[in-house]
Structure 1
Amino acid sequence: MPGRHRELAQFLRSRRERLSPADFGLPVGPRRRTPGLRREEVAQLAGVGVTWYTWLEQGREITVSAQVLGAVAQTLRLDPGERSHLFTLAGVFDNAVPCEAQPLPGAVLATLEAVRPFPAYVVNGRWDLLAHNPEAEEILGGFAGVPRERLNIMWLAFVERTLDGRVVEFDAESARHVALFRAGMADHPDHPAWKRLRDDLLAASPLFREYWDRYEVSRPMVRSKTFIHPRAGRIHVETASFMINGGPPLARLVVYSPADETARAAMRILSPSPGAAVVALA
């Protein structure tokens, strides 16, 4: 049995055995030897076949749908962390988990303030903008007039075109962003919000459509890029992203740090005013 399937079998068994039949109004007879629920009881409560559930708990190679796995998770009374673990072990994406904006931990907003004047922002896996400091809005071309539901890095770059003239090697950077988006979507192939954004981008941006058709993929990494700001001039930065625990699914903090002293000096010019503050959109 492969390691992941073995872990799945052990996890399901442990969650089943911790439940009391009395919790579900089931009789507890003197002959019951199995701690917790029996497999057939879990199957009945979840509305799935006994054989199918037995094979699932045995770690066999079977087809598992998100809907059925969700019923099992609900029956076993898994908390969000346990549910996520179950879906990961089963190799199934949980469509019930939203990738929409959710409240960010206060510590993340404090970090956005603390790194100023370095531009920094927070996005979820779909590149929706969840929060940013004033320097990030300045270097990314501004978001004035953009509807809140369209505050998405992909939409800003390819439809609003806020980065036009701002990024050196714009074509290469644009192609890489589409490759990042495609790689991320592979983890959410059936999520309606992902599909809606992809379809909207394909319809609204010929450039996005061109890069999408190349079928390139990429993952976030530390790298260099150069911006040209109308007031601060040329700013050479290194980008790094950090996953955020305890916030929206797949949220990450992106920070542009200066690659040289010239860029460090230029970043001090980015703040639009002394009173400008971090903006939280989630």
Structure 2
Amino acid sequence: MRNEEQRRLLGAFVRTRRESMTPEGHDRRRRTPGLRREELAARAAIGTTWVAWIEQGRDVRPSAETLARLASGLSLSAAERDYLFSLAGRHDPVDPFADAGQAAPPAIAALVGEIAWPCYALDPAWTLCAANPAARQLFVGLFEDDPAPNLLRYVFTHPAARALLPDWNARAGRLLAEFRRDYSHGLADPRVQGVVHWLQEQSPEFRESWNAQTVLAREGGTRSFRHPDRGLLHFTQHTLADVERGDFRVVFLQPAETRG
């Protein structure tokens, strides 16, 4: 957990929610309000000690899975569950992509909007926090019904990505090696951790590439796409880092035929 105040708030929240719950077979003679700690622990399938330490605001690091069981045991609403994970500094394993991600810094948003070629911006979890119309047209299926499209999830789990990238194996492997370089700077971000954990569970290719420990700088070069309406397209990729927020990336694709 991040700091003393967050631990205190988390402990008070869990204790208050526990004491507000009505135990099964309620006995009016009992003096303890709501559930006892051992009763909550049994409902959540976690140790009573964990419940006590969290409520006491101790400097402990319960896993996201432990917190998920605790949230279920407390019957938390979606908003309460989000509050719990936010205070604990963990990302909810139910859906690591549910968070809309970080907004693009103003300079990045302005740049993306002005470039005519396909252009997009990536936040530390590689969620697209900005994209221009040309990028939305190029990446088929990426932006459909998704308020927080993630480039890694798209490439490794979306069928449209495999059709769009004629050299999918090489591109996916390189993409992940480039992400691993950024990953070292985002270890404290629970969203980044959640994305990696989710993809390891959902994609054997991601898990295999991740375990290979390959690291590459994000470099330019030729990128090809087999678009369902426009056919085979070739671009030269360029990547810029924001000088104010080095964990954000701006990527734009220069059509190959425009080069002199």
Give percent identity, aligned residues only: 23
Structure 1 distance, partners of 2:111, 2:180, is: 29
Structure 1 distance, partners of 2:143, 2:170, is: 26
Task: Please name the residue that 2:190 is paired with.
Answer: 192
Q: Deviations over 1:51-92 (max 9, x none)?
A: xxxxxxxxxxxxxxxx9xxxxxxxxxxxxxxxxxxxxxxxxx
List structure 1 segments (4+ residues) > 6 angstroms apart after TM superposition: none
Task: Please name the residue that 1:104 is paired with.
Answer: 105
Q: Deviations over 1:205-226 (max 9, x none)?
A: 1111121121111111111111
Q: Give the secondary structure class of the aligned counterpart of 1:162.
A: helix
- Root-mean-square deviation (Å): 2.6
| CA-CA distance at 1:186 after TM superposition | 1.8
TM-score scaled by length of structure 1 = 0.52
Structure 2 distance, partners of 1:108, 1:199, is: 28
Is the CA contact 2:182–2:247 (under 8 Å) kept in the aligned structure 1?
no
Q: Deviations over 1:32-63 (max 9, x none)?
A: xxxxxxxxxxxxxxxxxxxxxxxxxxxxxxxx
Is the CA contact 1:165–1:228 (under 8 Å) kept in the aligned structure 2?
yes
TM-score scaled by length of structure 2 = 0.56
* Equivalent residues in 2 for 1:1-282, closer than 5 Å: 100-105=101-106, 107-116=107-116, 118-149=117-148, 151-246=149-244, 250-261=247-258
Q: Which has the larger radius of gyration?
A: 1
Is the CA contact 1:220–1:241 (under 8 Å) kept in the aligned structure 2?
yes
Q: Give the secondary structure class of the aligned counterpart of 2:153.
A: helix
Structure 2 distance, partners of 1:224, 1:103, is: 26
Structure 1 distance, partners of 2:183, 2:112, is: 27
Structure 2 stretches lacking a partner, 5+ long: 1-58, 60-88, 90-99
Task: Please name the residue that 1:24 is paired with.
Answer: none
164-173 or 154-163: bigger deviation: 154-163
Q: Give the secondary structure class of the aligned counterpart of 2:161.
A: coil
| CA-CA distance at 1:100 after TM superposition | 4.2
| CA-CA distance at 1:179 after TM superposition | 0.8
RCO greater where, 1 or 2, for CA within 8 Å and sep 6 or more? 1
- After superposition, the Cα gap between the structure-2 partners of 1:257 and 1:190, relative to the gap in structure 1 and judged at 3 Å, is same
